[in-house]
Structure 1
Amino acid sequence: MITVAKPMKNPPAYGVTSVDHALQLAVILQVEGPLTVSEAANRLGVARSTAHRLLSTLVYRDFAVQNDDRTYRVGPVLEIAAQTQSNVAAIRAAALGPLRTLVDTLDETANVSIRTGRTIRFIAAVECSQSLRVGSREGMVLPAHLATGGLVMLAALSDDDLTALYASPPANGSDERPDLAQLRTELRAIRRSGIALNLERSERGVVAVGRAVTNASGETVAAVSVSMPSVRHSPARMQDVVAALTAAAQAISTTL
Structure 2
Amino acid sequence: MRNLRTHPPLPERPSIAVESLDRGLRLLQLLRDYGALRVADAAQQLGVSRSSAHRLLQTLVFRGFAVQNEAHVYLPGPSMDAGPARLEWTRDFRRLCQPHLEVLSRRSRESANLMIRVGTNVRFLVTVRARTVEATHDRDGVVMPAHEASGGKALLAELTDDQIREIYTAGPAATLTEAAMAKLLGDATRARAHGYAVNVEETERGVAAVGTAVHDRWGTPVGAVTLSTRADRFAERLPSTLLPLLLDSRAQIERDLADVDLT
Superposition TM-score, scaled by structure 2 size: 0.68
- 2:216–2:222 contact (8 Å) kept in structure 1: yes
- Which secondary structure does the structure 2 equivalent of 1:125 belong to? strand
Shift of 1:127: 0.6
C-alpha distance in structure 2 between counterparts of 1:188 and 1:230, whole Å: 23
The 3-state SS of whatever aligns with 1:225 is strand
Q: 1:167 aligns with which of 166, 169, 172?
A: 169
- Farther off after superposition, 216-225 or 236-245: 236-245
Instruction: Please name the residue that 2:226 is paired with.
Output: 225
C-alpha distance in 1 between matches for 2:194 and 2:33: 46
Distance in 2 separating the partners of 1:213 and 1:145: 17
- Deviation of the 1:134 alpha carbon: 0.4
Q: Which residue of 2 aligns with 1:209?
A: 210
Map of 2:188 onto structure 1? 187
RMSD: 3.3
Aligned residue pairs total: 206
Q: Does 1:241 align with 2:242?
A: yes
Provide, for residues 210-243 of structure 1, a one-character-per-residue CA deviation record: whole Å limited to 9, x for no partner: 1111111101110000000123223465232111
Secondary structure of 1:227's counterpart equals strand
Q: Distance in 2 between matches of 1:236 and 1:140?
A: 25
Evaluate the alpha carbon distance shift between residue 217 and residue 14 of structure 1 in structure 2; reply closer, same or farther with a 3 A threshold.
Answer: same
For residues 71-130 of structure 1, give each alpha carbon's deviation from its aligned partner in whole angstroms, at most 9, with x where no partner exists: xxxx32x231xx232x11111111110101001111001101100000001101101111
Q: Residues 63 and 205 (structure 1 numbering): CA distance in 2 closer, same or farther, change over 3 Å?
A: closer
**How far is the alpha carbon of 1:176 from its aligned partner?**
5.4
Q: 1:14 aligns with which of 12, 16, 24?
A: 16
Matches of 1:156 and 1:129 in 2, distance apart?
32
Stretches of structure 1 that go unaligned for 5 or more consecutive residues are 1-9, 24-48, 65-74
The two structures have a TM-score, normalised by structure 1, of 0.69
Q: How big is the shift at 1:12?
A: 4.2
Structure 1 residues 11, 123: CA separation in 2 closer, same or farther (over 3 Å shift)? same
SS across alignment from 2:169: coil
Shift of 1:11: 8.1
2:146 & 2:173 partners in 1: Cα distance?
Answer: 14
Structure 2 segments unaligned to the other structure (5+ residues):
1-11, 38-64, 67-75, 258-263
TM-aligned CA deviation for residue 193 of structure 1: 0.3
Q: Does 1:142 align with 2:147?
A: no
Counterpart position of 1:6:
none
The letter of the residue matching 2:119 is G
- SS class of match (1:128): coil
What is aligned with 2:133?
A: 131
**8 A Cα contact 2:195 2:212, kept in partner:** yes
* Percentage of identical aligned residues: 28
